[in-house]
A and B are shown apart, each in its own frame.
Chain A
Amino acid sequence: EAGVAQSPRYKIIEKRQSVAFWCNPISGHATLYWYQQILGQGPKLLIQFQNNGVVDDSQLPKDRFSAERLKGVDSTLKIQPAKLEDSAVYLCASSLGRGEYNEQFFGPGTRLTVL
């Protein structure tokens, strides 16, 4: 079974530029998550989708971050404009359903460096 795919794996941009990340979840997984992991910290949930609807985006900085999952499969996360503090690994995860008993499967992450 193919895992969660993410691209690009690495991205270096200058502050105030825009960047987009792509995630393809495991086939059949209805729930998709985007996490931000700053060096030395645990992942922080940015947004959670159930199919193509947003379940939780309470920690998404909506003035600069946006995410979509238009057809309920692939998802993109965009940062516009980027700040230095956005340097982090952006992890995508998916699960069959919502809730604590649904195992989340993580992608390899995208490491973003903002200069």
Chain B
Amino acid sequence: KNEVEQSPQNLTAQEGEFITINCSYSVGISALHWLQQHPGGGIVSLFMLSSGKKKHGRLIATINIQEKHSSLHITASHPRDSAVYICAVYGGATNKLIFGTGTLLAVQP
């Protein structure tokens, strides 16, 4: 079992829909990152969380440390949001960044 699990693995939405991507982890962490990866492109950091909630534009990230769970929300989704969204946690036995396998999001016009 992976230490970082994401759901769903694939998500197709219509433009304008509210989107939620979930991340669960099984190790103790000091920080959680949400990252975005476009096809053929590099990875961009969206958020770093250690507690609570952060908002940037149409993106909202929340974390519940007790439940070992985080969510990434996208409001008013747009085709340009189409990408792979990766959850990564800093911690575990090795105290390094551990990545989930990503959620492939496709937003259709």
Contacts and interface: CB of A to CB of B under 8 A. Distances in A.
A103 B31 contact: no
Interface string A95-115: 000011101111111010000
Contacts of A42: 4, 86, 88, 99-102
Contacts of B86: 42-43
Q: Which of B30, B43, B100: most chain A CB closer than 10 A? A: B43
Given A106-B45, A108-B41, 18 more contacts: A3-B42, A42-B86, A42-B99, A42-B101, A42-B102, A43-B99, A44-B99, A56-B94, A58-B94, A91-B43, A100-B91, A101-B48, A103-B45, A103-B48, A106-B42, A106-B44, A107-B42, A109-B42
Interface of A: 3-4, 40-45, 48, 56, 58, 91, 93, 99-101, 103-109, 111
